[in-house]
Every structure is written in C-alpha cells, then in structure tokens.
Amino acid sequence: MALSELYQKSRSGPFILAGPCVIESREIVLRAATTLAAIADRLGLPLVFKSSFDKANRTSVTSFRGPGMQEGVRLLSEVKAETGLPIVTDIHHPEQAPLVAEVADVLQIPAFLCRQTDLLVAAAKTGKIVNVKKGQFLAPWDMENVVNKLRASGNENIWLTERGVTYGYNNLVVDMRSIPEMRKFDVPVVFDATHSVQLPGGLGKASGGQREYIPVLASAAVAAGANGVFMECHPDPDNAKCDGPNSLPLDAVEALLTRLKALWELNNG
C-alpha cells in the first residue's frame, strides 16, 4: 500500500496498528505479522504492523530492550517483504529517523518524547507518516503545538495517539474527550488500547497492567470517534519480555477487531 493511500484510508475509515511490544525474536514477529495480516484481510481492515527495535524507557536497567536498530530494522524489513504489511516503529533520537524511514512507513514518537522538537522535525522531514503519542503529562489541546511543529517542518501526514494520563501513583486514566479534542486539529486520532491499561512501574522493576479492560476502553474510544486503534499483542503475553500484562493475546485479536469494526460501521452508518 502506498504511503498516500495509507494516510487517506486513515482519514476516511478505520485502521489498526498492532504487533508485539518489542522484537523478541524473528519467529515471534513473523508469527504475529502473518496472523495479523490474515485477520486484517478477512475483516477488510487496513493494518500496520508494530514492533520496537529498542524500548529505551524501560522501568529497570536490567529489562529487555530489544535487538537494537540495525538488527531490528532488518527483521522489520523481512516482515514487510513476507506479509506486505506497512510498518510502524518507535524512534528515540533524531539521527535514527532517516535510517528507520528506509523501511518504516510510519515513525512513532514515544509519549515521553512527544515535545522533543529535534526529534519531531527529523521525523517530519522523512516525509513518512508521523504518529505521536500524547504524553501522559499533557492535555489534549497541548498537542496542537506538536502538530504545528510537524507541519512547520513540511509534513501533513500526522497521527496523534491517546494513551492515558498519569493519575496518582502507578496508574493511568483515559479521558475520552481527548479524542474529539485532538480531531479538531484535522488529523486522524488513534487510541492506544493496551498502554492505556498499563500500570507504570506497578510491579516494582516492571510495569503491570489490566489487559481485561482492553476491549472496554477500545470500544469506548471507537464510540468517541477514534479513527484507529493501536494494540500490542503477543502469542504468549504472560511470558512476553516487555509489557506482557497489558498486551492482548494474539488469539483474542480477531474477536476484538470484529467488535470494533461493527462499532465503526454503526458510527458511520
């Protein structure tokens, strides 16, 4: 799918970003990607495969971060060739943007870095879609400044993602008003259904999560007008190396997407 087609589809209809939190192995990412590609084909939903080559903001210094950029981009290139799916992955430094953009269709800016001007400008200048996760510390209307930074850098291919706001210690809460608020900037808005149920640092040296609430929040977000849904999924979340407690089991993805598709159709019926 051409980049322009992907962006236009994201503006006019539902789309999904999904995959394992981090690249653990070639076997896991290919298994997840081929499964997701088949589901997307059956349901007729555009799907972008997501997995990170480096999780730079893990809770503990001993936590698994991923294979690094060089090996990670190679594996994502293999996923793209095998499945035909577009790719989204995180970048953390401006110098990573042009290298990752050689494979990725969408460059994702992590929530903690959403105001980093140099990073935003570097991502924008690749011409790829830039998906910025709203910081847990920002109001939705604050994201207009982020949008303006990207547009001033010559890029109109922008997505914004809601992923919850810090609420007390080790907890997040989602204000669904943020979805229509951010849509006022004339960009597609994504709801991150899995990080929104995360309990940051809730396990001491790792984050916890309440994956049982993923379908509830995802459904509410679609009803509130979300253009797309982001979800991390894994063949065996209880043994995942990153964000397992807030990841959706791979075998539960199709049922949830079927439900969300029906809600999207109801909204636009």
- Residue 206's pLDDT band (boundaries 50, 70, 90)? low
**Residue 189's domain spans which residues?**
3-267
**pLDDT for position 61:** 78
| 207 has a pLDDT exceeding 90 | no
Cα 160 to Cα 182: distance, rounded to the nearest angstrom: 7
Adjacent-strand bridge partners of 160: 132, 189
- In this structure, of 30-44, 173-187, 188-202, 245-259, the range with the lowest mean pLDDT score is 188-202
- Total domains in the chain come to 1
- In this structure, of 1-15, 97-111, 172-186, the range with the lowest mean pLDDT score is 1-15
* Cβ neighbours of residue 204 closer than 8 Å, sequence gap 6 or more: none
* Share of residues in the chain with pLDDT > 70 (%): 96
**pLDDT for position 93:** 97
| 169 has a pLDDT exceeding 90 | no
- Residue 26's pLDDT band (boundaries 50, 70, 90)? very high
Q: What is the pTM of this model?
A: 0.95
| 249 has a pLDDT exceeding 90 | yes
**Residue predicted with more confidence, 199 or 127:** 127
Please give the backbone phi and psi of residue 87, each rounded to the nearest 5 degrees, phi first. Answer: -120, 140
Residues in the chain: 269
Give the CA angle between residues 34, 37, 41 to the nearest 5°: 140
Please give the backbone phi and psi of residue 162, each rounded to the nearest 5 degrees, phi first. Answer: -85, 130
| 205 has a pLDDT exceeding 70 | no
**pLDDT for position 203:** 65
| 46 has a pLDDT exceeding 70 | yes
- The encoded tokens of residue 249 equal 């089991």
* Beta carbons within 10 angstroms of residue 61's beta carbon: 7
- The encoded tokens of residue 98 equal 């042009």
Cα 113 to Cα 119: distance, rounded to the nearest angstrom: 8
CA dihedral for 91, 94, 96, 97, sign (positive or negative): positive
> What are the start-end ranges of the E strands in 82-156?
87-90, 106-109, 129-133
Residue 199's domain is classified under what CATH number?
3.20.20.70
| 269 has a pLDDT exceeding 80 | no
- The encoded tokens of residue 251 equal 């075998």
**pLDDT for position 202:** 58
Amino acid at 123: A
- According to DSSP, residue 43 is labeled H
